[in-house]
């Protein structure tokens, strides 16, 4: 099993550009999450999903959209990137009490 | 979810036990204590969780005080690879979305 994978690993965007981050899990987990982590800080929840076709806002959802069309995939979109969205983005999935995290995507917005 | 307080940093000698404290004085009766760690910019990794009894697994031991207002994560024989940020999180075991709220954590430095 690959676990949780994230694509891409690194990306540089210009202000105003858009992009989609892909998270995939092969553990048949119901729950999936997107977090961001700024330097020296803990993770903050952006959006999450409790099942295919459902999404909900987390702590810091502004500027992001998500979709969960397939159970194994959770997409995070930035419609108009801003320098404040420079961060490391982590995806996670869970079936119950334990969350499994991906390796992260390092995004820089200039 | 109850808020937790952890020291920002700790040092430990390699081969010695690392004892990481966490205060959660407002914990509710149905809230569990979870520990995760994050090694150098990798994704966080689950370590252990418990409700009121002490717990042990292959990675660590979790000691929860009788009043449940604080807990200690114990790494019995710390190695250099245990250098990481350790997060103590309190939440119900099956809440809406099973979300985790990460604080600042404790940066553990294991030294040779």
Alpha carbon of A33: minimum distance to chain B alpha carbons (Å): 8
> Mean of the pLDDT values across residues B6-12?
97
Beta strand ranges found along A26-83 (DSSP E): 31-37, 43-51, 54-57, 65-67, 73-78
pLDDT attached to residue B41: 82
DSSP three-state, residue A85: helix
**Interface test with chain B among A39, A43, A58, by most B beta carbons within 10 Å:** A43
Please state whether the peptide bond connecting residue B23 to the residue before it is cis, i.e. omega within 30 degrees of 0. Answer: no
pLDDT attached to residue B53: 86
pLDDT attached to residue B95: 62
Q: State how far the Cα of A31 lies from the Cα of A80, in Å rounded to an integer.
A: 27
pLDDT attached to residue A67: 98
Q: What is the pLDDT of residues B58-110, one digit of tens each?
A: 999 999 999 999 999 999 999 999 999 999 999 876 665 678 888 889 999 99
DSSP annotation of B109 reads E
Structure tokens at B20: 């990481």
Q: What is the pLDDT along chain A (110 residues), one digit of tens a residue?
A: 789 999 999 999 999 999 999 999 999 999 999 999 998 888 999 999 999 999 999 999 999 999 999 999 999 999 999 999 999 999 999 987 789 999 999 999 99
Q: State how far the Cα of A80 lies from the Cα of A77, in Å rounded to an integer.
A: 9
Q: What is the DSSP string of B24-78?
A: -TT--TTEEEEEEEE-TTSPPEEEEEESSS-EE-SS-EEEE-TTSSEEEEEETT-
Contact A58 B99 (CB under 8 A): yes
- Terminal C-alpha separation, chain B: 37
Q: A-chain residues within 8 Å CB-CB of B42?
A: 101, 103-104
List the single residue in A58, A98, A104 with the smallest CB-CB distance to B46. Answer: A98
Q: A-chain residues within 8 Å CB-CB of B87?
A: 42
pLDDT attached to residue A40: 83
pLDDT attached to residue B97: 67
Whether the CB-CB separation of A88 and A37 falls below 8 Å is answered with yes
> Mean of the pLDDT values across residues B43-54?
94
Structure tokens at B48: 């252990």
Q: State how far the Cα of B68 lies from the Cα of B45, in Å rounded to an integer.
A: 23
């Amino acid at each position: 099993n690959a676990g949780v994978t994230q694509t891409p690993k690194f990306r540089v965007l210009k202000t105003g550009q858009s992009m989609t981050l892909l998270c995939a899990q092969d553990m048949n987990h119901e729950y999936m999450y997107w977090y961001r982590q700024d330097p020296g800080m803990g993770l903050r929840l952006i959006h999450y999903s409790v099942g295919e076709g459902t999404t909900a806002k987390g702590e810091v959802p502004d500027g992001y959209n998500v979709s969960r069309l397939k159970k194994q995939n959770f997409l995070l979109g930035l419609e108009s990137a801003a320098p404040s969205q420079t961060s490391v983005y982590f995806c996670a999935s869970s079936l119950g009490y334990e969350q499994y995290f991906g390796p992260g995507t390092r995004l820089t917005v200039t | 979810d109850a808020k937790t307080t952890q020291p920002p940093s700790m040092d430990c000698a390699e081969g010695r036990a690392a004892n990481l404290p966490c205060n959660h004085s407002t914990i509710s009766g149905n809230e569990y204590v979870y520990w995760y760690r994050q090694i150098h910019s990798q994704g966080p990794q689950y370590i252990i969780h418990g409700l009121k009894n002490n717990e042990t697994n292959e990675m660590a031991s979790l000691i929860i005080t009788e009043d449940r207002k604080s807990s200690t994560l114990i790494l019995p024989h710390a190695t250099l690879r245990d250098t990481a940020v350790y997060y103590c999180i309190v939440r119900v075991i099956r809440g809406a979305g099973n979300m985790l709220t990460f604080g600042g954590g404790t940066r553990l430095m294991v030294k040779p």
